[in-house]
């Protein structure tokens, strides 16, 4: 007996406890086989003890004990086999087979040379000899497997306990080989040192169980993980070749065996080089495929992200930021899709504009106006029919699109539903508002088959409803309106062929100082006298000129004529009159306008103090940062800027502080009622007081009565313009009626 039973029990306990702590996994199976190895050896040793010490029978002659001593070899062989099966994918199979063949060949040569070739061993056919040959064969299988694994392992990645277990297995195998050598030569004596060596593997297995930790080791780098573990593991055979050479030198090895061993190793190296190259190429190919797949996946993910982002952006771009309704951009795209993709469809376009919204917005501020728009939008959404779509296309302008059911009775039903919704009060604490709506209706394809015309016709019908249908609040587009359209087309054509020199002319309306009634300037007003149509009002052709893009050319002609005229008057009469020139918002948006204007001033030798540019309130309210810079640059030139028709539009103080403005021209609509309406008087007085506080000049437009002049003079309005002093006149008449007359009055 080589080990006390208490030691065996301790070893078995350590291995068994560690095995039980493992979860169901490959590692649990491995350690179970290790436990069976130690347990079977314990049973064999215990049986030996019974026969030898208690029954006094020589255990060597007991066949059952020899079979039990073979079981550890079987369990160890099973462990090697299972490990190979579970880890086969980690190794390159061709390299593994080649290594195994070479190792088997060399082991056979070594074992035969050092153990059996020179000792005259006689083999028998009895059971003990056969049993010894069986476990000798199993030992050879185990040794071959361990040697192949050592060649195939990436030793840097192995845990310490594996080295301990492998070392124990090698001691067991080599001890078995030594036992076989002793047995076949009738040299074995029981209970000698060799039996003690047999106990060392069990001790090492127990130590391995103590060292082992059931945790997953961290992965190495990407390339090392993908390459088989037996990639370029040939260094051991090179060392073995050196060992063979040393053995030959010390006469422990014959020349024939050295030659055979060398040939085996060289053949192995040759085929290994081929296999390793194939492994590398296969790895690079797999890596390239993997990288391509990864790149494709990333591209796919990025593409999906971009598609989602684009969808989100499209959704955002199609929605109005304030109300969440579809916007004008989406309306245009949607109309195009209806017209182009479904030409047989019919639908109705309802163009809606809120009544009195601007006055509410101006009086109570934009936050209140925004809340009102949100409340109305929610009402539209909550009451919208399935075949209807609502859009917000402007500040207080909405469009309702009715598809499928476009008969007039259904449209009337929808329109009256909208009017009922508008009648409901709007509660925005602490205020309660009521507003109306004007609706223009155009039908596709009855009224127009073109998207732009259809929208234009609905817009025109809406304005007609606002002006002429204040009771019903809606209007269908019809032929009478088309006459206006025809007139617009006619004006459009005439504008494209206008003779500037012979058809356009400037009229001038005088501006007087309210304190002493002296002439201080004039306003240049464009007139169009067509040879066939006669006088065409500016209110009729200016919007069309802006729409078709000829307003820049007209504006430049007006500025050129005004420059020439004011220079002529001021130089001829030694005056310092100022001329007001109306500038279209489209001109202000032209990036080249300032440069042209500056060059025009220099080339015509015009004193900038003579020039006053009149801008509408809408231009300033819709101004961008570039427009603000433009105002600054005009101011730096010495040109003054006036806000025309102040008091009827936005009338916001924010843009007055923001821009370089010199003059506020109080709108005629306010001046008309200044003598009769106390509230209007208060508004005008507030404007004048505000302007004085901000060091701005004020001009009252449309003054026609002496009472108006007296009031304006009393409240401190700086200048007067209107029919009381004179209506717009051609240059020659104004010069005679006002300039010369004013000079004569000053002389007197």
- Beta-strand runs (E) in 69-208: none
Q: Is residue 690 part of a domain?
A: yes
The predicted pLDDT at position 447 comes to 87
Identify the band that residue 89 occupies on the pLDDT scale cut at 50, 70 and 90. low
pLDDT of 310 over the 70 cut: yes
- Given 258, 283, 317, the domain boundary residue is 317
Query: Which one has a higher pLDDT value, 289 or 353?
Result: 353
Same domain? 554 vs 695: yes
Q: At what angle do helices 160-184 and 193-211 cross, to 10 degrees?
A: 160
The kind and range of the H/E element at 81 are helix 63-87
Q: What is the pLDDT of residue 247?
A: 58
Q: Average pLDDT, stretch 158-183? A: 76
455 with 374: CB under 8 angstroms? no
Biggest CA pair distance of the chain: 164
Q: What percent of the chain clears pLDDT 90, i.e. is strictly above it?
A: 29
Q: Mark whether 170 and 247 lie in a shared domain.
A: no
Residue 640: alpha-carbon gap to chain centroid: 47
Q: Please give the tally of structural domains in the chain.
A: 4
Query: Looking at the predicted structure, is the pLDDT value of residue 102 above 80?
Result: no
Q: Give me the pLDDT at residue 1, please.
A: 41
Residues 583 and 703 in one domain: yes
Query: Do the domain assignments include residue 496?
Result: no
My answer on whether 369 and 267 are in the same domain is no
| Residue where one domain finishes, among candidates 151, 180, 214 | 214
If one compares 216 and 701, the residue with the highest pLDDT of the two is 701
Mean pLDDT in residue range 101-120: 63
Top-confidence residue, 101 or 584: 584
- Contact between residue 529 and residue 579 where contact means Cβ atoms under 8 Å apart: no
Looking at residue 218, what is its pLDDT? 46
- How many angstroms separate the CA atoms of 168 and 162, rounded? 10
* Residue 31 lies in domain: 5-214
Q: Per-residue pLDDT for 14 more than 60?
A: no
pLDDT of residue 558 exceeding 80, the answer is: yes
For residue 697, give the DSSP letter. E
Taking the C-alpha atoms of residue 479 and residue 447, their distance in angstroms, rounded to an integer, is: 9
Q: Are residues 445 and 559 in the same domain?
A: no
More confident residue, 281 or 646: 646
What band does 219 get if pLDDT is binned at 50, 70 and 90? very low
Q: pLDDT at position 510, please?
A: 96
Burial (CB count <10 Å: 0-12, 13-18, 19+), residue 681 = middle
Q: What is the pLDDT of residues 685-729, one digit of tens each?
A: 999 999 998 899 999 999 999 999 999 999 999 999 999 999 999
Residues whose CB falls within 8 Å of the CB of residue 315, separated by 6 or more in sequence, listed in order:
none
Mean pLDDT estimate for the chain: 80
Mean of the pLDDT values across residues 180-186? 71
Q: Which DSSP category does 191 fall into?
A: T
- Name, in order, each residue with C-beta under 8 angstroms of 659's C-beta and a sequence gap of 6 or more: 620, 623, 628, 631, 641
Whether residues 166 and 283 share a domain: the answer is no
CATH of the domain at 375: 3.30.70.270
* 275 shares its domain with 345: no
- Distance, in Å, from the CA atom of 29 to the CA atom of 85, rounded to the nearest integer, reads 13
Are 428 and 510 contained in the same domain?
A: no
Domain identity same for 9 and 58: yes
Residue 250 domain-assigned (yes or no) = yes
Q: Say yes or no: 685 and 659 in one domain.
A: yes
Do 21 and 119 sit in the same domain of this protein?
Answer: yes
The mean-pLDDT minimum among 259-268, 392-401, 435-444 falls in 259-268
643 versus 7: the higher-pLDDT residue is 643
Does the structure show a pLDDT above 90 at 204? no
Q: Mean pLDDT highest for which of 51-55, 343-347, 387-391, 588-592? A: 387-391
User: In terms of Cα–Cα distance, which of 390, 423, 414 is closest to 476?
Assistant: 414
Tell me whether residue 487 is in a domain. no
Q: Is residue 680 part of a domain?
A: yes
Give residue 402's pLDDT. Answer: 92
pLDDT per residue as tens digits for the range 571-604: 999 999 999 999 988 888 888 899 999 999 999 9
pLDDT of res. 481: 74
Say yes or no to pLDDT of 308 above 70. Answer: yes
Q: Which of 51-65, 199-213, 355-369, 640-654 has the highest mean pLDDT?
A: 355-369
In a domain, 220, yes or no: no
Structural domain includes residue 224: no
pLDDT of residue 168: 80
Among the listed ranges 18-27, 278-287, 332-341, 389-398, which one has the minimum average pLDDT value? 18-27
**Cα–Cα distance, 734 to 591 (Å, whole number):** 35
Predicted pLDDT of residue 223: 43
The string of pLDDT tens digits covering residues 363-399 is 888 889 899 999 999 998 888 888 899 999 988 899 9
pLDDT on residue 111: 65
In Å, what is the CA distance from 411 to each residue of 128, 302, 611? 110, 47, 53
Sign for the CA dihedral angle at 157, 159, 163, 166 comes to negative
Task: Give the Cα separation of 694 and 656 in Å (integer).
Answer: 9
State percent of the chain over pLDDT 70. Answer: 76
- The pLDDT assigned to 613 comes to 94
133 pLDDT above the threshold of 60: yes
User: What are 391's strand-pairing partners?
Assistant: 326, 399
- Choose between 233 and 450: higher pLDDT: 450
Average pLDDT over residues 74-100: 71
Q: 220 falls in which pLDDT band (50, 70, 90)?
A: very low
The reply to whether 421 and 367 lie within a common domain is yes
Residue 61 has pLDDT above 70, yes or no: no
Tokens of 312: 């989100």
Q: Looking at residue 632, which CATH number applies to its domain?
A: 3.20.20.450
Helix axis angle, 706-715 to 678-693, nearest 10°: 40
Indicate whether 384 belongs to any domain: yes
Name the band, by pLDDT with cuts 50, 70 and 90, for residue 520: very high
Per-residue confidence (pLDDT) for residue 221, from 0 to 100:
41
State the pairing for strand pair 397-403/640-646: unpaired
Reported as half-sphere exposure (CB side, CA atoms, 13 A), residue 549 has a value of 1
Q: What pLDDT, on the 0 to 100 scale, is given for residue 663?
A: 93
């Amino acid at each position: 007996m080589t080990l006390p039973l208490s030691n065996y029990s301790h070893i078995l306990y350590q291995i068994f406890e560690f095995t039980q702590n493992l979860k169901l996994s490959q590692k649990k199976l491995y350690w179970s086989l290790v436990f069976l190895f130690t347990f079977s050896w314990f049973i064999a040793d215990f049986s030996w003890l019974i026969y030898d010490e208690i029954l006094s029978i020589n255990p060597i002659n007991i066949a059952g004990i020899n079979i039990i001593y073979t079981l550890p070899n079987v369990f160890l062989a099973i462990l090697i086999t299972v490990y190979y099966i579970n880890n086969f994918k980690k190794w390159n199979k061709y390299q593994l087979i080649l290594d195994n063949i070479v190792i088997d060949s060399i082991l056979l040569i070594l074992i035969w040379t050092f153990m059996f070739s020179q000792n005259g061993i006689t083999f028998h056919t009895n059971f003990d000899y056969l049993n010894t040959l069986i476990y000798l064969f199993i030992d050879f299988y185990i040794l071959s497997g361990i040697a192949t694994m050592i060649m195939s392992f990436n030793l840097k990645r192995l845990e310490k306990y594996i080295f301990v277990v492998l070392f124990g297995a090698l001691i067991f195998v080599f001890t078995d080989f030594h036992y076989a050598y002793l047995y076949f030569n009738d040299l074995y004596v029981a209970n000698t040192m060799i039996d003690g060596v047999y106990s060392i593997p069990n001790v090492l297995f127990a130590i391995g169980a103590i060292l082992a930790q059931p945790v997953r080791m961290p992965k190495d780098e990407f390339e090392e993980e993908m390459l088989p573990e037996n990639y370029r593991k040939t260094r051991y055979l090179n060392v073995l070749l050196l060992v063979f050479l040393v053995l030959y030198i010390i006469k422990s090895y014959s020349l024939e065996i050295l030659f055979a061993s060398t040939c085996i190793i060289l053949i192995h190296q040759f085929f290994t080089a081929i296999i390793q190259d194939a492994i590398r190429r296969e790895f690079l190919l797999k890596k390239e495929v993997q990288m391509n797949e990864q790149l494709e996946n990333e591209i796919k993910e990025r593409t999906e992200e971009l598609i989602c982002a684009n969808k989100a952006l499209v959704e955002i771009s199609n929605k109005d930021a304030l109300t969440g309704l579809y916007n004008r951009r989406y309306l245009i795209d949607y109309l195009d899709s209806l017209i182009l993709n479904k030409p047989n469809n019919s639908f109705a376009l309802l163009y809606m504009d809120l009544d009195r919204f601007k006055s509410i917005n101006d009086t109570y501020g934009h936050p209140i106006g925004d809340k009102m728009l949100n409340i109305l939008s929610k009402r539209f959404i909550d009451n919208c029919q399935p075949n209807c779509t609502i859009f917000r296309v402007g500040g207080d302008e909405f469009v309702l699109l009715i598809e499928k059911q476009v008969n007039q009775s259904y449209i009337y039903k929808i329109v009256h539903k909208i009017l009922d919704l508008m009648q409901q009060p709007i509660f925005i604490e602490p205020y309660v508002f009521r507003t109306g709506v004007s609706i223009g209706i155009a039908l596709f394809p009855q009224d127009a088959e073109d998207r732009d015309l259809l929208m234009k016709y609905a817009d025109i019908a809406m304005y007609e409803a606002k002006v002429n249908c204040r009771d019903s609040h809606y209007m269908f587009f019809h032929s009478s309106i088309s006459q206006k359209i025809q007139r617009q087309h006619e004006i459009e054509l005439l504008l494209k062929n206008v003779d500037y020199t012979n058809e356009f002319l400037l009229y001038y309306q005088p501006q007087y100082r309210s304190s002493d009634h002296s002439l201080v300037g004039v306003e240049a007003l464009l007139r169009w006298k067509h040879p066939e149509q006669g006088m065409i009002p500016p209110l009729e052709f200016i919007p069309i000129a802006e729409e078709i893009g000829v307003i820049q050319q007209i504006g430049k002609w007006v500025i050129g004529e005004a420059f020439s005229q004011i220079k002529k008057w001021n130089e001829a009469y030694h005056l310092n009159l100022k001329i007001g020139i109306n500038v279209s918002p489209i001109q202000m948006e032209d990036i080249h306008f300032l440069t042209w204007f500056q060059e025009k001033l220099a080339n015509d030798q015009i004193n900038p103090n003579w020039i006053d540019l009149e801008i509408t309130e809408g231009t300033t309210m819709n101004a961008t940062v570039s427009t603000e810079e433009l105002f600054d640059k005009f101011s730096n030139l010495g040109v003054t800027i006036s806000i025309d028709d102040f008091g009827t539009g936005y009338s916001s103080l924010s843009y007055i502080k923001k821009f370089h403005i010199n003059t506020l021209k109080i709108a005629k609509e306010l001046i008309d009622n200044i003598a009769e309406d106390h509230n209007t008087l208060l508004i005008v007085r507030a404007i004048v007081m505000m302007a004085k506080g901000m060091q701005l000049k004020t001009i009252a437009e449309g003054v026609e009565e002496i009472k108006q002049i007296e009031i304006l003079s009393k409240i401190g309005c700086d200048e007067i313009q209107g029919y009381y002093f004179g209506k717009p006149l051609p240059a020659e008449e104004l010069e005679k009626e006002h300039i010369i007359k004013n000079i004569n009055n000053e002389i007197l």
